[in-house]
Structure 1
Amino acid sequence: MKYILVTGGVLSGIGKGIIASSVGLILKSRGLRVSAIKIDPYINIDAGTFSPYEHGEVFVLDDGGEVDLDLGNYERFLDIRLTKDNNLTTGKIYQSVILKERRGDYLSKTVQVVPHITDAIQEWVMGQAKVAVDDNGFEPQVCVIELGGTVGDIESMPFIEAFRQFQFKVKRENFCNIHVSLIPQPSTTGEQKTKPTQNSVRELRGLGLCPDLIVCRCSTPLDTAVKEKISMFCHVEPKQVICIQDVSSVYKVPLLMEDQGLVDFFCSRLNLPIATKHNKMLRKWKEMTDRTDRFLESTSIALVGKYTKCLDSYASVIKALEHSALAINYKLEVKFIDSVYLEQSTERDDPVKYHQAWQRLCSANGVLVPGGFGVRGTEGKIHAINWARKHKKPFLGVCLGMQLAACEFARNVLGWEDANSTEFDPNTKYPVVIEMPEHNPGQMGGTMRLGRRRTIFKSTSSVLRKLYGDVEYVDERHRHRFEVNPELKHHLEEKGFHFVGQDQEGKRMEITEIKDHPYFVGVQYHPEFTSRPFKPSPPYFGLLLAAAGKLQNYLIKGCRLSPR
């Protein structure tokens, strides 16, 4: 087993996740089996209770693991399926060590950070690195490990020490360290500054890890003199300094890295059995990135949510839209709309933002209401859904978006003015959305309906069924603790709000459609989590097709796109 550790310096959010994903993609394109682990040095057990404003979206895995959004990057780039144990946190490590101590595994010993915590980290990494990540069941050959945060943070010290020991345990020929650092370029001088990178590498070396590659994040390509300066002061050869400048698409990063000789470096440094020619995987990747620069037609989607100030809150949603736009050769414009500004109270308090929000909504080719929690902005989302339904605009509601679509329909078609979710109004006369009976309200973390669940199609004429390939069922990932009230199902269906997909027991409403509409679909699950660059999620794909005016033609042709 080969291990590639990705660390970061200067500041967080520098792009370590994309770098780690790109390294994995390059190696996989040369015929290697690749796995990935993300280490987050916070004490939380998982990411399930995080605020989207602080950490971005919570990515959900097949096994129900609520994890860091970087695991979404790994799955999308490598087309693999990870487990919750591929996201390692300080909380998980300390929890496992404390349980062992209570069980008596450390009798007569003082339990300390070194060696007990550091040993637990190494054992976890070695054990998880060997777990198969695809359907063939073969053990991976390379594991890419991303250490979150920044070198020098007190929280990451036990992990740095663990990997200092780890490099000797697995031998030098099996361990490689990539250090990602920032090269700032102040606008006053325009000069690329290397001092932050020098200090960051010095800090890392002082802790016992010597970077084999230094990946420099910069706004423009590195000057040769700057690269040589980094080489001189950071004790690496110039070929070990990789430049990743700002690009129009993250999908170009693997190509940038390969062009700078990354494959040859890994081949010699880790003695990897790399194929001499890359397979069609990377060729398809390059063709995809080339096409994005040549698109002439465009379409726009209004994303109506409550976390629009932090776009990482909708990272997978945005990627799913991008994958679908790529498939139909369209440029994509996502119009982010804070749903609060669509409400009547905003018109009174801030009429400018109210009219701007409605102008953005009305000028979009399609409307998307994604998942979320809390009452803030829900009325604005209902207004957007009502507008999309009445004006025949393509609409997709995901999780909460589907639940609010049911509430909107009940209010404005059934005449139930008080219809609502008990999450927002526990005393509503018409509880269209209710809390699931098995939910444990005494604990927040990990108590939702999580992970991969099966949805059975109940209609052969369903648009979404056709988009999925006319299958009888689909397996998608869930994250919710509220559901459409099954006791009110028949009232909604009588008026045209059809539940075309349900769970295996036939109790939970999973997919809804309105027939007399270009595209009005709601799904209780989160299809964005399984979308891939070359395999777009069918619900999002349908939305983009409808927004571009191509859905009916696509369905008539048997769900086949016209040749490019």
Structure 2
Amino acid sequence: MKTTTLHLALIGDYNPDVVAHQAIPVALQRAADSLGVNVHVQWLDTDSLTATTALQAFDGFWCVPASPYRDTDGALRAIRFAREQRRPFLGTCGGFQHAVLEYARNVVGWADAEHGELAPQAKRAVITPLTCSLVEATDTVHLAPYTRIADAYGSADIEEGYHCRYGINPDFASALLDGNLIATGHDSAGDLRAVELLDHPFFVATLFQPERAALKGITPPLAIALLKACQAMLA
């Protein structure tokens, strides 16, 4: 029987010195091995993502850490494609931030929504510095029940590592989370650390970086969940 090959796009500007960039291909390969499928990974540099870039061939997308990206609009274009075309999507750290920014602009309708790292004086900076920078930090995250992320981990409380300085601006959180984008994970202080879309087969974003576990020989549950969602779309 022919083995399924899944085609995954990594949205972000590859840098071999970034730990997450080292970890993500390893995480996906470990997940593929556990599921008995093949995975083909392709990096999509953000400044290569134009209005004419063909994205239909990808079964799933992972928007990766290490922003600001070279081209914010390019990253948002690929995220929007995954959201609108209902392709499985995972965003971690910078991917979380840009998934929220894309949603704010194109779903909530805030054309002036900005990322505070790029436009700190913007009136509608939906992404702003965290009150406590989560760089090389580990914390407990409590997951909301009956969510895709909770299903992936099979547990209500998890321990995850961070390398992140920006998150959702609390001033805009209630409006952003008033529709299909829902809060699915909070840290030990009660701060938002994960979101997902209700009206999508798999659209999950986390401020933590689950991929890092792969460098310690652990297969990240969210990498398995992403590939399972891709499999389900092909079934």
TM (normalized to structure 2)? 0.91
- Contact 1:478/1:525, CA 8 A, preserved across alignment: yes
Query: Structure 1 residue 482: deviation in Å?
Result: 1.1
Query: Structure 1 residue 449: deviation in Å?
Result: 2.9
Q: Distance in 2 between matches of 1:343 and 1:308?
A: 21
Alignment pair present for 1:466 and 2:151: yes
Q: Distance in 2 between matches of 1:329 and 1:433?
A: 38
Q: Distance in 2 between matches of 1:295 and 1:302?
A: 22
Alignment pair present for 1:489 and 2:183: no
Alignment pair present for 1:479 and 2:172: no
Residue 87 of structure 2 is matched in structure 1 by 393
- Contact 1:456/1:473, CA 8 A, preserved across alignment: yes
Pick the structure with more strand per residue. 2
Q: Distance in 2 between matches of 1:317 and 1:501?
A: 21
- Contact 2:46/2:69, CA 8 A, preserved across alignment: no
Residue 521 of structure 1 is matched in structure 2 by 204
Q: Which residue among 335, 341, 346 is the counterpart of 2:48?
A: 341
- Contact 1:454/1:476, CA 8 A, preserved across alignment: yes
Identity fraction in percent: 27
In structure 2, do the counterparts of structure 1 residues 454 and 338 end up closer, same or farther at CA, with 3 Å as the change threshold? Answer: same
1:387 partner letter: F
Q: Deviations over 1:53-72 (max 9, x none)?
A: xxxxxxxxxxxxxxxxxxxx
Q: Distance in 2 between matches of 1:453 and 1:544?
A: 26
2:91 partner letter: G
User: Of the two, which has the highest radius of gyration?
Assistant: 1
Query: Structure 1 residue 531: deviation in Å?
Result: 2.8
Alignment pair present for 1:433 and 2:127: yes
Correspondences of 1:95-110 after superposition (within 5 Å): none
Q: Deviations over 1:451-491 (max 9, x none)?
A: 2111111x21111101111x121100100111111221111
Q: Deviations over 1:331-374 (max 9, x none)?
A: 11012211111146xxxxxxxxxx4xx22x22100011000133
Query: Structure 1 residue 311: deviation in Å?
Result: 9.5
Alignment pair present for 1:540 and 2:223: yes
Q: Distance in 1 between matches of 2:223 and 2:188?
A: 23
Residue 453 of structure 1 is matched in structure 2 by 139
- Contact 1:422/1:431, CA 8 A, preserved across alignment: yes
Q: Distance in 2 between matches of 1:392 and 1:488?
A: 25
| Larger relative contact order (CA 8 Å, sep ≥ 6) | 2
2:195 partner letter: T
In structure 2, do the counterparts of structure 1 residues 415 and 431 end up closer, same or farther at CA, with 3 Å as the change threshold? Answer: same
Residue 21 of structure 2 is matched in structure 1 by 314
Residue 330 of structure 1 is matched in structure 2 by 37
2:184 partner letter: V
TM (normalized to structure 1)? 0.39
Q: Distance in 1 between matches of 2:216 and 2:140?
A: 23
- Contact 1:301/1:335, CA 8 A, preserved across alignment: yes
Query: Structure 1 residue 308: deviation in Å?
Result: 6.2
- Contact 1:335/1:364, CA 8 A, preserved across alignment: no
Q: Distance in 1 between matches of 2:70 and 2:167?
A: 19
In structure 2, do the counterparts of structure 1 residues 402 and 313 end up closer, same or farther at CA, with 3 Å as the change threshold? Answer: closer
1:452 partner letter: T
Q: Distance in 1 between matches of 2:93 and 2:216?
A: 22
Query: Structure 1 residue 315: deviation in Å?
Result: 1.5
Query: Structure 1 residue 534: deviation in Å?
Result: 7.3
1:337 partner letter: L
- Contact 1:303/1:369, CA 8 A, preserved across alignment: yes
Q: Distance in 2 between matches of 1:377 and 1:295?
A: 38
Q: Distance in 2 between matches of 1:363 and 1:308?
A: 24
Residue 7 of structure 2 is matched in structure 1 by 300
Q: Distance in 2 between matches of 1:538 and 1:377?
A: 29
Q: Distance in 2 between matches of 1:311 and 1:526?
A: 12
Residue 73 of structure 2 is matched in structure 1 by 379
Query: Structure 1 residue 377: deviation in Å?
Result: 1.9
Residue 365 of structure 1 is matched in structure 2 by 59
Q: Deviations over 1:89-111 (max 9, x none)?
A: xxxxxxxxxxxxxxxxxxxxxxx
Query: Structure 1 residue 375: deviation in Å?
Result: 4.6
SS of residue paired to 1:449? strand
Unmatched segments (≥5 aa) in structure 1: 1-293, 345-354, 440-447, 554-564
Query: Structure 1 residue 532: deviation in Å?
Result: 6.7
How many corresponding residue pairs? 235
SS of residue paired to 1:500? strand
1:503 partner letter: D
Pick the structure with more helix per residue. 1
- Contact 1:308/1:337, CA 8 A, preserved across alignment: no
Q: Distance in 1 between matches of 2:37 and 2:195?
A: 27
In structure 2, do the counterparts of structure 1 residues 410 and 321 end up closer, same or farther at CA, with 3 Å as the change threshold? Answer: same
- Contact 2:213/2:220, CA 8 A, preserved across alignment: yes
Correspondences of 1:59-70 after superposition (within 5 Å): none
